Structure 1
Amino acid sequence: MHRLKAQQIAHLVNTRQLSAVEVATAVCDRLERLNPSLNAFIDYQRADVLARARTSDQRVAAKQYLPLAGVPFSVKDNLWLGGRPATFGSRVFADFVAPRDSWCVQRLGELGGVALGMTNCSEFACKGITTNPLHGTTRNPWNLELTPGGSSGGAVAAVAAGLGPLALATDAGGSTRRPAAHTGLVGFKPSLGAVPNPWGFADPNHLLSVIGQLGRDVEDVALMARSLFAWCPSDPLSQPHFSAQSLAPTPRAPRSLRIAWSPDLGLGLPLDSDVASAMVAALATLERDGWSIELASPCWPGGLEGYALLGLQHTALAAQFGALADEQLQQLDPDILAQIELGRALSGVQTARLLALRNGLSITLAAFFDDYDLLLCPTAPVEAWAVGQLGPATIGGQPAGPRGHAGYTPVFNYCGVPALSLPCGFGKQGLPVGLQVIAPRYMDGRVLQAAAEMERVLGLSFEAPMLRNQGIPQPL
C-alpha cells in the first residue's frame, strides 16, 4: 500500500476497489512505526486522519468523482491544518492552533485528499537543514545519520519513507528542491503566485516563497500542481493567468526544445566531482535519445557573489521577529537569531540596492530565455551530509561555508520562475542527486512536461531503503 502512487490510489478509491479508510489505516500504521526514527511528523492524530478518510469515502459513495480521492498528503509546519497545532518550527508559536486550513490544504481536501498531519521544518523555514529547538532533528530515510536538507526536511522524509505519496512544502530559496534532491524525490517550485496562499503565518520571504509540491515521480507532482494552480483575489501575488489550463502540455515536443546546461550557473559555483559525473551521464543519456543540449550560462549582473541577496531574508526576519521580548529571542534557534542580527545591521539603502539587484537578475534570466527554452543545472552540489552540520565542510575540494550547498536554487526564487528538481543519478555514497529543470516565468507546463519525459528516458529507480525494506535503514 505504501508504494502506491497518488494517481493509483485515487483511481482505486474512486472505483471503490479500495477505500480511503483502508489507505489511511495502512499509512497511519506505517507512520506510527517509522516516525520515531525519522521525526518527519511533529503533529499527527490517527482519529483525525481516519475521519478525513471517511469523509472522502462518503463523497465517493455519493457518486462524486474526486481527483485525489483518498490520497494521503502531509502539511509542512509553516502552513495551517485547521484545528491542529502549527508552530512554524518555533517556540514562539509553541501553543498556537491553526484557526483554519491554509488555502492549499483546503483545496486538496476539497478534491478528496486526506491530510495526515504536520511535518517538521527549520524555524521560520529559514535554514538549509531541518532541526529546531522545539521539535528536534529530522533524519534522512536513505541513512538516518544524514540530513534530508531543509527547510522542508520533514516533508521529504515522509514521502521518501512511504508516509503518504504527496507532501505540501514551501520554497523561498530551494526549500522544496534541495531536500527533494537529497532524498530521491521530485520537488517542484512553481512560478511565483501560481498557488494562492492568502491565509496563514506571515512569511518573512513572502515575495519569494511559493507553495511547493513533492512526490516520488513527476506524474504525481503534476497531478498535485494541476490541483493547486488557481487565481485567488485575496492573495496579492495570485494572478488570473494561473489555472489548471496553464499546465496543459505545450505543442512542442521535448526533443525540439532549445536546452542549456550550466554546471556552475555562470557563477563559478563549486560542484562535487561525483555529483557532476552523475549529471553528465544523465545528459549523455538524453542526448543519445535525441535531445539537443548546449553548454551555456546566463551573464548575471555583478554583485551576486557570496549569497548577497540572502540579506533580504535577514532584513525580513529582523522586521518580523526582531521586536520580540528578550526572553523570546533567546528561545530562538541560534542560527536564526544570528540572521536577525545581520538584518538589523542592514540599512534601508543597502536593502534597496538588493531589491534593485533582484530586478536585474529577472531581466538577465528573461533575456537568456530568448535563446533557450529550458535551463538545466544541479539542484545541490553535494549528496546529503551528516546531521548536526549546517552544511558539508567541502564542496568540489574547496572549503564550503554554511550556505555553500545552497547556491544553485535561490536565484530562481528571485526571478519568480518555475524550477523542478528531478532525481537523475547517484553519487559516490550511493545517495541520490538532483538535476534542476528551469523555464521562463509562467512556463510551468513546459517544465513538468519536459521533466516527465526526461524521467522516462533515464528510467532510474530512486526508492529509499526505508521504502523498499519497510523498515529502518542502517547507516551506509
Structure 2
Amino acid sequence: MHATDIVRAVTARETSAREMADQALTRIAAARDLNAVVTVDPERTRAEADAVDARVAAGELLPLAGVPVVVKDNIWVGGWRITQGSRLFADFIAPEDAIAVARLRRAGAVVVGIGATSEFACKGVTTSLLYGPTRHPLDRTLTPGGSSGGPVTAVAAGLVPLAIGTDAGGSIRRPAAHVGVVGFKPSYGAIPYGPGFAEAGWGISVVGPLTADVGDARLAFEVMAGPDPRDPHAIDVAAAGPAQPLRIAFSPRLGLDVAVDGEVSVGLQRAVGRLRAGGFLVVDKDPVWPAGLAEDAIMPLQHAGLAALFSDAFRSDPHQFDPDIAKQIERGLGLSGADVARALEASTQIARALAAFFLDVDVLLTPTVPCVAWPFTQLGPSEIGGQPASPRGHAVFTPFVNHASVPAISMPCGTNAQGLPFGLQLIAARGRDRRLLDVAAQAERVLADRA
C-alpha cells in the first residue's frame, strides 16, 4: 500500500496502525538477506502504533496515520540505537528525535526500523564494518548505491511505503535511481536538520523522503518542512503558486565532460520525448560552470570534515574504520587551510552558477546517474559509457546540487536490458520545492501514460 492509501484506511478505521506495523515487521524479518533494515525494536514499534490508534479513535486527523517508516542510521530517533554505520557508535542510543522524525511521529507515522548506511554516510556503496553490505532488491550481487542504501531498498522491496534518508552529495537520489523509487532532496534548510550527529560536510546535507511515487514524497515533505528555531539555517519554502508555462532545460550531461552509459542516454532521451509529446516545453540547455570545475574541487570539504571529527580516534586505532573511510580521513589530514579555502570557493562558484541558470529556466532535467547498479564489492563500476571509470564516476550528476542548496528529485526513468533501473533528475531554484514537486507529479503522470 502507498502511504496515502494507509492514511485513508487507518483514518477510516478499516485497518489499524498496529496491523500496518505488524505487517511491516513481518516483511522486514522475511527480507533479512537484503540487510536493508539493521535495527528493529518490535515492542517499541507496537507501542507507538497503539498510541497512534488511540489518537485516531479520539478523533485526531493525522496526515501520516499508521504509515510505517524506516529511518536512516544517521538520523536520531529517540531511544533507538543509531550508529552511523560505525563501530565507534555501535552502542549509541539517540537521546531525542531529530526534528524531522518528531514531526513524522506527531503526524502519526510509526518507526518500524533503522535503515543501513555506509559509515558516516560518506560512501557511494552501502557497506560497513558494523553491518556488512546492503544488497540490491533485484540482484543480491549488486549494490543499491549509497549512502541511503538501506532506506531505498526498504521502499523498493516493499517493506515500507516511506523511508527517510540524508543527502549531502546524492545519497538519496542516486540509490533511489538505482532501485527504481522516488528520492526527494529538498532545498537546504527546507526541512530542519538535527538534533543529531556532527556532520563531515558542512552546510550541504539535508533530510528527505524516499517513496514509491511523487504523491507520497509530497505528503512526507509537507509534514517535515518548515522552520524551527533550533536550526538556524531552516527556511520557509514558497507556495507552489499558480500554474504557468514552464521553462524546462534538458542537459544530458549537466554541462560536464563525463561519460554516460548508452542505455541510460537512450532511456533519458526517450523520456524527454514523451514529456514533450505530453505537452512539456523542454529545450536543450546546459548550465555553464567555471572552467575546469569538477567534483574533485569540492571533495576536500568532506575529507577535511572527517579528519576534523575523527582524527583522534583514527590515530588511536585506524582498524575501527572502514578502509575506504580511513583513506578519506588520511586525505583530510594532509590538507592545508588553503586547500579547504579553495574547496569552499569552488562550492560558492557552483552555487552562483546554478542560481544564474535559474534566472532563465524554471526546471533543469538531467540524468540522476550515468549507469546502473554494480557489484557491492566495488566502490563504483569499472567502466561507464565504455570508458574506464573512477570510483566516483557514478556520482557526477548530484553533488553540485547540494553545493547550490537547491531542491532536486529523482524519478524512475527506465531500465537497461537486464532490467536494472536508472532515473531522471529534476532540479529547481532554492525554495521552489513545492513547485518542483508539482512538476514532478505532472511528469510522473505523463511518463506513466506513455510508457
The TM-score bracket by the shorter chain reads over 0.9
Change (3 A) 1:426 1:460: farther
Matched residues in 2 for 1:460 and 1:411: separation? 32
Correspondence 1:29 to 2:26: yes
Identity of aligned residues (%): 49
Q: Tell me which residue corresponds to 1:379.
A: 368
Judge conservation of contact 2:65–2:107 (CA < 8 Å) in 1: yes
Change (3 A) 1:386 1:37: same
Which consecutive segments of 4 or more residues in structure 1 shift more than 6 A?
Answer: none
Correspondence 1:76 to 2:72: yes
Q: Tell me which residue corresponds to 2:209.
A: 213
Secondary structure in structure 1 of the residue aligned to 2:27: helix
Matched residues in 1 for 2:266 and 2:134: separation? 29
Judge conservation of contact 2:39–2:113 (CA < 8 Å) in 1: yes
**2:436 partner letter:** V
Judge conservation of contact 2:75–2:196 (CA < 8 Å) in 1: yes
Q: Tell me which residue corresponds to 2:328.
A: 339
- The counterpart of 1:430, out of the listed 393, 416, 419, is 419
Shift of 1:302: 2.4
Where does structure 2 lack aligned partners over 5 or more consecutive residues?
Answer: none
Matched residues in 2 for 1:387 and 1:409: separation? 20
Q: Tell me which residue corresponds to 1:144.
A: 140
Matched residues in 1 for 2:174 and 2:185: separation? 11
Correspondence 1:277 to 2:294: no
Shift of 1:356: 1.2
Matched residues in 2 for 1:319 and 1:96: separation? 20
Matched residues in 2 for 1:109 and 1:448: separation? 23
Matched residues in 1 for 2:287 and 2:230: separation? 35
Matched residues in 2 for 1:399 and 1:366: separation? 32
Q: Tell me which residue corresponds to 1:185.
A: 181
Matched residues in 2 for 1:117 and 1:238: separation? 27
Correspondence 1:249 to 2:236: no
Judge conservation of contact 1:303–1:357 (CA < 8 Å) in 2: no
**2:410 partner letter:** S
**2:192 partner letter:** P
Judge conservation of contact 1:83–1:97 (CA < 8 Å) in 2: yes
Q: Tell me which residue corresponds to 2:14.
A: 17
How far does the alpha carbon of each residue in 1:408-442 deviate from its partner, in whole angstroms, 9 at most, with x for none? 00000000000100111112221111000000111
**2:90 partner letter:** A
**2:267 partner letter:** A
Q: Tell me which residue corresponds to 2:149.
A: 153
Q: Tell me which residue corresponds to 1:469.
A: none
Matched residues in 2 for 1:461 and 1:290: separation? 12
Shift of 1:306: 5.2
Pairing 1:81-160 to 2, within 5 Å after superposition: 81-160=77-156
Shift of 1:206: 3.5
How far does the alpha carbon of each residue in 1:219-262 deviate from its partner, in whole angstroms, 9 at most, with x for none? 000000000111111112113x24xxx3x433124xx2111111
Shift of 1:307: 2.4
**1:356 partner letter:** E
Change (3 A) 1:81 1:171: same
Matched residues in 1 for 2:132 and 2:123: separation? 14
Shift of 1:172: 0.1
Pairing 1:318-333 to 2, within 5 Å after superposition: 318-324=307-313, 326-333=315-322
Judge conservation of contact 2:155–2:211 (CA < 8 Å) in 1: yes
Matched residues in 2 for 1:353 and 1:252: separation? 41
Q: Tell me which residue corresponds to 1:170.
A: 166
- TM-score in terms of structure 1 length: 0.93
Aligned residues: 451
Q: Tell me which residue corresponds to 1:63.
A: 59
Q: Tell me which residue corresponds to 2:392.
A: 403
Secondary structure in structure 1 of the residue aligned to 2:320: coil
Matched residues in 1 for 2:292 and 2:94: separation? 40
Q: 201-210 vs 274-283, which deviates more? A: 201-210
RMSD: 1.4
Matched residues in 1 for 2:324 and 2:154: separation? 25
How far does the alpha carbon of each residue in 1:34-85 deviate from its partner, in whole angstroms, 9 at most, with x for none? 1x21001111021111111101000000111100000000110001111111
**2:338 partner letter:** V
Secondary structure in structure 2 of the residue aligned to 1:97: coil
Matched residues in 2 for 1:250 and 1:277: separation? 33
Judge conservation of contact 1:424–1:460 (CA < 8 Å) in 2: no
**1:417 partner letter:** V
**1:447 partner letter:** L
Matched residues in 1 for 2:242 and 2:41: separation? 45
Judge conservation of contact 1:257–1:373 (CA < 8 Å) in 2: yes
Q: 211-220 vs 420-429, which deviates more? A: 420-429
Correspondence 1:394 to 2:390: no
Secondary structure in structure 1 of the residue aligned to 2:365: strand
Judge conservation of contact 2:371–2:394 (CA < 8 Å) in 1: yes
Q: Tell me which residue corresponds to 2:341.
A: 352
Change (3 A) 1:459 1:325: closer
- The counterpart of 1:450, out of the listed 421, 424, 439, is 439
Where does structure 1 lack aligned partners over 5 or more consecutive residues?
Answer: 463-476
Matched residues in 1 for 2:35 and 2:194: separation? 29
Pairing 1:223-302 to 2, within 5 Å after superposition: 223-239=219-235, 241-242=236-237, 246=238, 248-253=239-244, 256-302=245-291
Matched residues in 2 for 1:303 and 1:320: separation? 30
Q: Tell me which residue corresponds to 1:468.
A: none
**2:185 partner letter:** K
Judge conservation of contact 2:297–2:346 (CA < 8 Å) in 1: no
Q: 319-328 vs 363-372, which deviates more? A: 319-328
Q: 425-434 vs 411-420, which deviates more? A: 425-434
How far does the alpha carbon of each residue in 1:360-390 deviate from its partner, in whole angstroms, 9 at most, with x for none? 1111111111111110000000011111111
